[in-house]
Each structure stands twice: as structure tokens, then as C-alpha cells.
Amino acid sequence: MSLPPCPACQSPYSYEDQGRLVCPECAHEWMPGESAADEHAAVVDANGNTLADGDTVSVIKDLKLKGGGGVVKVGTKVKNIRLVDGDHNIDCKVDGLGALKLKSEFVKKV
């Protein structure tokens, strides 16, 4: 049985994991039969640029964090974002703050 190449980077080395297909080169995950255009097609930054998994973005305003206090300052660069479904549609890790969920309307693509 041959698996399809990764729709994000066209790598031929995809593998199946718990019903999902995974690319070991770019870490893209997708369901069999799903195209890259179907997934997260409407996620755009504050300037209207389309975002994708693995992009680097910059925060455009100070963001107060719920729970622990603290602030993500304007201009903070966030590397290797991951797009998810929901109100806060970006999962990321910020140096010094750890894992966060951000709204795409408060970032711009670098």
C-alpha cells in the first residue's frame, strides 16, 4: 500500500499514525483524502496575509495573559506556529512564556 505524498511539502516519506497521515520532514498532519487547501484555508494575519503551519509571525500589540499574569510585548517574534481550529487559532511557544494560543488578528507574518 502506497501512501500519498505530503500536501504541504510534497515529501514522499509520509506515514500513518492513529488514522492520520504525518510528514516526517515538515511535521504536517492530515486526514487521508484531505487536501492542504481544505485545512485552515481562512486563517489570515492582521494585514490579510494567509498563514500556514511553520510560519514566523510578530505580535502587533501587547497581549495580557490570562491566569498567570504577564504580557506578550509588541514585536515579539513567534517561530514555527501551528494552526488549529477554534477562536484562538494559533498554537505556539514563546521564549520565556511557554506554550500559548494566539488569535491570528493580533499577529503579522514576518
Among candidate residues 62, 64, 56, 46, the one with its CA nearest the CA of residue 82: 56
d(CA 82, CA 33): 21
pLDDT tens, N- to C-terminus, the chain (110 residues): 688 888 888 889 999 998 899 999 888 888 887 655 554 456 889 998 989 999 999 999 999 988 777 899 999 999 999 999 878 999 999 988 889 999 999 999 99
Tell me what percent of the chain is helix, strand and coil, each rounded to the nearest 5.
5, 30, 65
Q: Tell me if the pTM is above 0.75.
A: no
Q: What is the pLDDT of residue 35?
A: 58
